[in-house]
Every structure is written in C-alpha cells, then in structure tokens.
Amino acid sequence: MEAHAVNPWVAVAYLIAGICFILALRGLSSPATSRRGNRYGMAGMAIAVVTTLVTHVPTVTAIGTDYKVHIDGWRFLEIFAAIAIGAVIGLTTARKIQMTAMPQLVAAFHSLVGLAAVLVGVAAFYNPAAFGILEAGGLDILKGSRIEMGLGVAIGAITFSGSVIAFAKLNGNMSGAPILLPARHSINLAALLAIIVLVSLFHGDTPHLFWGIVALSFVIGFLLIIPIGGADMPVVVSMLNSYSGWAAAAMGFTLHNTAMIVTGALVGSSGAILSYIMCRAMNRSFISVIAGGFGAENAAGGGEGREQRPWKRGSAEDAAFLMQEAENVIIIPGYGMAVAQAQHVLREMADLLKKHGVNVKYAIHPVAGRMPGHMNVLLAEASVPYDEVFELEDINGEFAQCDVAFIIGANDVVNPAARTDKSSPIYGMPVFDVEKAKTIFFVKRSMGGVGYAGVDNDVFYMDQTMMLLADAKKMVEDINKALAD
C-alpha cells in the first residue's frame, strides 16, 4: 500500500497548499498585494510538490505489523532531473522575457499545461496499473477514471492547440483579424458532440477511440481560436488560462491527487470569472467568445480602405507647454507604451507635471495591451501610485472636464468607431471618451499604422488632436526635457 493512503498529514499538507493558493489569488487581485500573492503561490506549490514526492516516490510495503520503505534511486533521480530542467528553463525565460512578450509567454505556458495533461492521460491510458486506476482483476481502466481521463485529455488538447493559435496571433505570426471558416459553428458543435460520445465509449482496449478524442480536441482548439479577432485576444488569454486549470483538475481526479484538483479548480474558476468580467467590460457575449466568435460575421468588414484626411502634427514642446498649463491631465497607456518600454519615463513626466500643480491620472482599459492587467503591471513596475490608476468605468466621466488627454500607444480603446460603426470589429466595446477632452495628444510611431484590430481612428483627425509621431519613449523623454527647462 502507499503511504498517502494511511498518513493524515498528507491531507493536511494539501489543505495548507490549497489555502496558500487561495491567498495567492486574493493577493493577485490588486497590484498593491501582488508580490505577497506570488509568495503565497510559490509556498503553496512548494508544499504540494514536496508532499507529492514524499508520498509517491518511496514504495511502502506492509510486512505484518511493520512497514518497509524502499526508494528507487533511478526514479528519484529522473524526477529531480526533470524538475531541474524545467526550473532552469522557467528561471531563464522569466529573467530574459520583456513585458512586450509577456502575453505570448503566457499563451505558450498555457499550451505546455495543456500538453502536459494530454501526456499524463496517454501514460495513464497505456499503464493504468502505475496510476492505481486498474479495475479489480486487471481487466480494464476504472470507469470513473476513464471519464476523468477523457475529459482531462480533451480539455488539455483544446488548451494546447488554442494556445498555439493565440501565441501566433499575439506574436504576429498570424493576422489578428478574425479568420472565418464556412460552417465553423456546425463543425465545432459536431466535433464537441463526437468528443463527448468518444469519452463515454472508450476503454482500455480501444486505443483508436482514445486517440480520436485527442485528435478531435486538437482540431476544435484550433477552430475555436482562429475566428476570434485581436480586440478580444485578452479574453482569449484569460479563457485559455481557465481551460488549463480544468485540464489539471481533471487529471488530478485521474491521479487521485488532491493538490492538482484544488489548484486546477482554483485556476479554472478564477480564469472563467475573469473572462466573464472582461466580456462584460467589453460588452461582449461570454458564450459568443468561448464558442469561437459567434457574430463575428457582422464585424468582418471593418477597417478596410483608410481614407486620407487632414491631421495636425505636434511637438514635445507643444505637449510640455499645454500640459504644464493644464489643471487636469489623463494619461491613457496602451501596448505601444509596452513596446517602447516607456513606463518609467512616463511616470517621470507625471511627477514633473505634479510639480507644476497639475492633477494627473491614469486611465486603464480592461483590454489595454494583449493580456489582462498588462498595463497595471507595467505601471506598478514603474512605481506609479496605485491611487492614480483608474479603470474605465471609474474615470470615463471625467474626460469632459479634462484639459489634456495624453494617449501613449493605445488605439482601439479610444476609437469612437466602437460606438458609431456597426461594421467595425470593435463595435460594441466600451471605449474612453477622449474626444470630450479639450486637447488630445496622441503618441504613436507613424500615421501608417492602425490598432491591433486593424481599424482607422477618427481621433487622429479631430480638431483638438495633435499627433506626436515618434517612438513613445523618445517622445516622452523630449517632453520631460522641455518640462524641466
């Protein structure tokens, strides 16, 4: 028998790990407590991993009233070699990755979680005795474990292929525009029903049904993500995070591992809740997004054929003069700020403006950047005070009293087409009312580019708008020099 079957301390250790994970989620809900949340998460994972190793690596055999413990040295070495390799890769990646590539990294990590669930399922299918899921008499896999295994493999495969597509879209290897296949909803529904049927039918002697589940799940993951446009990619990243959690929870049931069940359920439920909150913030249907972009046909025609219209060019000196004379300035950061790594000089600009008596606030859209919380993390990294950062619903009413709206690297989140153009891929998404500000400074690299959704922006051509065309960091540095003179 195994030690974890009789040792109550194992359940206690997993309970403590689960509490740490809950505290981690609570800490990560705010930039002010995010570091503490990360520490709780690392502590919980360390407890879960050590407990699992202690209870599964040794073999405990009952001999009368005594127990004999045997440790397979090679098995122990293999496990720690795998952990060490993964730790080195993770540490190196975390140290080298730029914040601009963080959404791609998150998508890549989700794909690995999904692939791990598939590989664990394959191992359990071909060697159920090693996982303790063989029926009495050794004839077949336990029925309950078959269902859990099938669901874990299916969700893991969907997570893997969906995350690969999300990575390609975020990294620019694929177009951020929706790719609409004919009859895709019927194909998705048929594939989903087929997966459910196969999960209910497969058993230990039907490898063709098992691999049918894997193949169909890989296909449906691909089909679910390609119709989703760039404006909705932050929701996709959050949704895939949820999928990876449910895959881990399902495999936890297969492995009879409480820590995996608890951790997976927490990740799955929190990711689903975050996806739902973001969909509400964007005026998107949650079911539509997770089902592969229902209604995207209505938005497929937006963003075609840019019209040549007059616009005004401003300078760093113009921006410095008008902002230091202003009473209220609202800064709207976006992905372009992340690309230029301009968050530190932006905070310096805000500090200089405050010395001139200007009231400075930051406006953060739920989908600014390409993953949830992207801008919040960047501003926290630059030590921007948390009480100066406001979400869309809390600050949108202040633009009418705002002297200057300073847009740095954002585009789709300030585009009025979301309210006025029903053919636009961003139609219906709540955006900042920057057009109500007295003066708008719009920092972007050139007039040739459009937002991630590929839509031209009327704000560029408004009478109160001055375009500051340059690298975002260089432009803000020039503004800071002018403010300091």
Kindly state the helix (H) or strand (E) to which residue 361 belongs, with its residue range.
strand 359-364
- Of the candidates 232, 412, 433, 478, the residue annotated as catalytic is 412
Amino acid at 430: P
Tokens of 133: 């899921």
**333 close to 408: Cβ distance less than 8 angstroms:** yes
- Residue 467 CA to residue 313 CA, distance in Å, equals 5
Check residue 411 and report its DSSP letter. Answer: -
Question: What are the beta bridge partners of residue 332?
Answer: 407
Per DSSP, the three-state class of 388 is: helix
Per DSSP, the three-state class of 179 is: coil
Beta strands 66-71 and 58-63 are antiparallel
- Residue 332 CA to residue 350 CA, distance in Å, equals 12
Query: 458 catalytic, yes or no?
Result: no
The residue whose two tokens read 């570091």 is: 35
Three-point CA angle 413, 415, 420, nearest 5°: 125
Q: Is the dihedral of CA 129, 132, 137, 140 positive or negative?
A: negative
Which residues are known to be catalytic? 412
